[in-house]
């Protein structure tokens, strides 16, 4: 009886330990730290030859420097030619583990001799031979229901893939917060996930020229797949119910959409 009692106590203790570990792991998973993104947009002058200069800099200098700085993957994208709204631009998406990592990056690059030497012609270009017209930076904080980026992996040709970047502007900060709530607590992210939109990120813009707004990027093997996915999204009972809810009405005042393709040197 004594041995049986000891065994029972040991069994209970072991079960409690397993439960605590499991709960702890779930809690850590649920509380994954929200990361940050910089969406850097190089605006290029038409017919200037700037595109080739920016491509060479990003491919041979900037992305390798980011890798040395501890940023494993950065995406580089160009607008699909038929998407005339985008103009002549190159989009660079850089994930950061913390906001401090973002702020420290210029200092880190400033100490990287390989970066400074290889990029000298670009960095120190003469004023009348600038390699770009303007550089725009948008800083985002990841949504809590998708705190870290997802890097899709496709096997079809890069020339067929479509990455869709969307910006949802709101009339007020309160409306923007409600739209973000719709993605998180409302379950809009869950709908995208269930339909396999392969979203790279969802983020609240904390620094940018179109605030208050959020941005997110979904990915597809080709444009036909993109159209099929959006058709399915609009037809789901979950979306119809969610979009009809009074608390989420009038949360978006403007939508900008960019259809992009990754460059052949993009990390994803």
Structural domain range at position 149: 36-262
Whole-structure pTM value: 0.87
Largest CA distance in the chain: 92
* Centroid of chain to Cα 35: 10
Residue in the block written with tokens 């067929």:
160
Residue 171 exposure: Cα atoms within 13 Å on the Cβ side: 6
Would you give per-residue pLDDT tens digits along the chain (268 residues)? Answer: 444 454 444 444 444 444 444 444 333 334 689 999 999 999 999 888 999 999 999 999 999 999 999 999 999 999 998 766 666 999 999 999 999 999 999 999 999 999 999 999 999 999 999 999 999 999 999 999 999 999 999 999 999 999 999 999 999 999 999 999 999 999 999 999 999 999 999 999 999 999 999 999 999 999 999 999 999 999 999 999 999 999 999 999 999 999 999 999 999 9
In a domain, 6, yes or no: no
- Note the pLDDT of residue 31: 65
Cβ contact 214:203 at 8 Å? yes
The count of structural domains within the chain is 1
For residue 137, the domain's CATH number is 3.30.70.100
In a domain, 268, yes or no: no
Task: State how beta strands 162-169 and 89-96 pair.
Answer: unpaired
In a domain, 16, yes or no: no
Question: Tens digit of pLDDT for each residue in 140-155?
Answer: 999 999 999 999 999 9
In a domain, 9, yes or no: no
Q: Which two tokens stand for residue 249?
A: 């009405």
SS3 189: helix
In a domain, 31, yes or no: no
| Helix ranges, 37-98 (H) | 50-57, 63-68
């Amino acid at each position: 009886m004594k041995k049986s009692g000891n065994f029972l106590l040991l069994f209970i203790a072991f079960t409690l330990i397993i439960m605590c570990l499991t709960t702890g792991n779930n809690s850590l998973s649920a509380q994954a730290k929200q990361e940050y993104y910089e969406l850097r947009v190089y605006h290029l002058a038409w017919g200037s030859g700037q595109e080739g200069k920016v491509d060479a800099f990003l491919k041979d200098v900037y992305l390798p420097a980011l890798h040395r700085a501890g940023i494993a993957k950065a995406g580089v994208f160009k607008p699909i030619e038929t998407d005339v709204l985008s103009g002549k631009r190159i989009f660079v998406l850089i994930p950061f583990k913390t906001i401090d990592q973002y702020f420290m990056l210029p200092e880190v690059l400033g100490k990287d001799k390989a970066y400074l030497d290889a990029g000298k012609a670009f960095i120190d270009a003469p004023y009348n031979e600038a390699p770009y017209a303007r550089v725009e930076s948008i800083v985002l904080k990841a949504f809590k229901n998708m705190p870290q980026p997802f890097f899709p992996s496709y096997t079809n040709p890069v020339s067929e893939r479509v990455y869709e970047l969307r910006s949802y502007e709101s009339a007020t900060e309160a409306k923007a917060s409600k739209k973000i709530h719709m993605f998180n607590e409302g379950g809009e992210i869950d709908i995208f996930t269930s339909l396999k939109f392969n979203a790279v990120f969802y983020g609240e813009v904390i620094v940018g020229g179109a605030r208050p707004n959020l941005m997110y990027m979904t990915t597809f093997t080709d444009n036909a797949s993109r159209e099929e996915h959006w058709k399915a999204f609009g037809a789901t009972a979950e979306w119809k119910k969610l979009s009809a809810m009074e608390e989420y009405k009038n949360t978006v005042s403007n939508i900008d959409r960019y259809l992009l393709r990754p460059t052949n040197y993009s990390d994803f």
